[in-house]
Amino acid sequence: MKIGFAGRWSPLEKNAWSGTYFYAYQAIKKNFDVQYFHYKWPWYIREQLIFHKQFQKLHNRKVAVEFLQGYARWFSKQLEKELRIMKPDILFVPGAPQLIAYCKTSVPIIYMADATFQQLQGYYDSFSNLAPYNIQQGIELDRKAFDNAAHCMLASDWAKQSAVTDYHIHEKKITVQPLGANLDIIPAVSELKKEKNKICRLLFLGVEWERKGGQIALDTFYALQNNGMQVQLKIIGCQPPLHIKDKNVTVIPFLNKNIKEEAQQLYNILLQTDFLLLPTRAECAGVVFCEAGAFGIPSITTDTGGVRTYVQNGINGFTLPLSSGAGAYAEKILDLYTNDDSYRLLCANSRNEFETRLNWDAWGKSFCQIAEDLLNN
């Protein structure tokens, strides 16, 4: 069976869509012959961007150009041409509704998404305050992409709910399949820490300080200190807006997993981490929770977006209400870390969730089953 892999980026680029393109491509290659192609913006769409930037200045509204119909129609036409040449048995399109919204083809399409355009309105800052015509066109082309797909692989129950409720996609056409850990090296169980330390080591891992709840994480650290707990916090992936003087807080603004030494540094930090602390304000899916699970790290996070598909209360962590402040996070961590049996079980279950659900092999098996069912039916 030949699979076409079409997207906005190359699946050979590890940074594309936070690594999801690369690892999905590798998972599919284990079972199928895969041919990929991706598209760059044509020059006249770049010229069109100038107009939309002027619109933003004049009307104080943002424009997500990739969710305009003209953009989508051009890409759909390019995809049609490519499909006539390549003739795949199945087409896989991850997170690029623009490619298939107006694509006319008899090739069955498996479309993967972590959210609908409808539910992103006002949820992520980049999708807030969009021009009304942009919202209308974005919702229409996104819905058409879901309609045109023979099957939809969605990264969370949250995304499925919107597809069913907002776009009226039949549930039989949807499979909820979590993403996996974007890691090249998975630690053996024997490598994972056996006993907790006197010092509780917290990890905040994210590139967007505000959206990921960085200030709440920092305030949680201070609240734990004030409760007499010995605690350390590592902040990786971003630079907090204010200088932090506490010697027990380490800031590493960026680690590139594509650089061997930096990947090893992150690996060593994860081996020594007791909790992933991520009070995120908005989250479609949860690759970082999959990665924490690979190291047997419980996640303390927020009940928002698609998080609950990845972090299940009392199993591999806890999701707190969006309204929760640092005090609630500190109380949860203190309660868990002072109960040896509960904490050990949480760590063991975190690894088990990774091994059974939150890995790319599990994702690949799901894809394989969907592809075979489409061809057989």
What pLDDT does residue 377 have?
Answer: 84
The band of 56, judged by pLDDT with boundaries at 50, 70 and 90, is confident
Is residue 249 scored above 80 in pLDDT? yes
What pLDDT does residue 202 have?
Answer: 99
- Whether 176 and 198 share a structural domain: no
What pLDDT does residue 46 have?
Answer: 60
The chain-wide mean pLDDT, for the chain, equals 94
- Whether 349 and 368 share a structural domain: no
- Whether 161 and 193 share a structural domain: no
pLDDT digits (tens, 9 = 90+) for 317-363: 999 999 999 999 999 999 999 999 999 999 999 999 999 999 999 99
Share of the chain above pLDDT 70, in %: 96
The band of 58, judged by pLDDT with boundaries at 50, 70 and 90, is low
How large is the average pLDDT for residues 249-262? Answer: 94
- Whether 293 and 152 share a structural domain: no
Residue 234: give its domain's CATH number. Answer: 3.40.50.2000
Q: How is residue 293 written in tokens?
A: 């699970």
How large is the average pLDDT for residues 178-199? Answer: 91
Number of domains in the chain: 2
Alpha helices in the chain (DSSP H): 20-29, 43-59, 69-86, 97-100, 117-120, 132-148, 157-167, 214-226, 260-271, 287-294, 307-310, 326-337, 340-356, 360-376
The β-bridge partners of 2 are: 33
- Whether 197 and 332 share a structural domain: yes
Is residue 41 scored above 70 in pLDDT? no
By mean pLDDT, which of 24-33, 54-63, 68-77, 142-151 is the weakest? 54-63
What pLDDT does residue 169 have?
Answer: 99
How large is the average pLDDT for residues 261-277? Answer: 97
- Whether 275 and 340 share a structural domain: yes
What pLDDT does residue 194 have?
Answer: 67
Residue among 104, 98, 90, 105 nearest 145 (CA): 98
- Whether 151 and 201 share a structural domain: no
- Whether 110 and 26 share a structural domain: yes
Residue-number span of the structural domain to which 73 is assigned? 2-180+359-376
- Whether 139 and 161 share a structural domain: yes
Q: How far apart are alpha carbons 324 and 2 in whole angstroms?
A: 48
Q: How far apart are alpha carbons 204 and 200 in whole angstroms?
A: 13
How large is the average pLDDT for residues 220-233? Answer: 98
Sheet holding 109-113, edge to edge: 33-38, 2-7, 90-94, 109-113, 151-154, 174-176
How large is the average pLDDT for residues 21-26? Answer: 98
What pLDDT does residue 358 have?
Answer: 99
- Whether 34 and 150 share a structural domain: yes
- Whether 18 and 89 share a structural domain: yes
How large is the average pLDDT for residues 248-277? Answer: 95
H-run or E-run covering 16:
none
What pLDDT does residue 50 have?
Answer: 59
Q: How is residue 113 written in tokens?
A: 């998404």
Sheet holding 249-252, edge to edge: 249-252, 231-236, 200-205, 275-278, 299-302, 317-320
What pLDDT does residue 152 have?
Answer: 99
Is residue 38 scored above 90 in pLDDT? no
- Whether 107 and 128 share a structural domain: yes
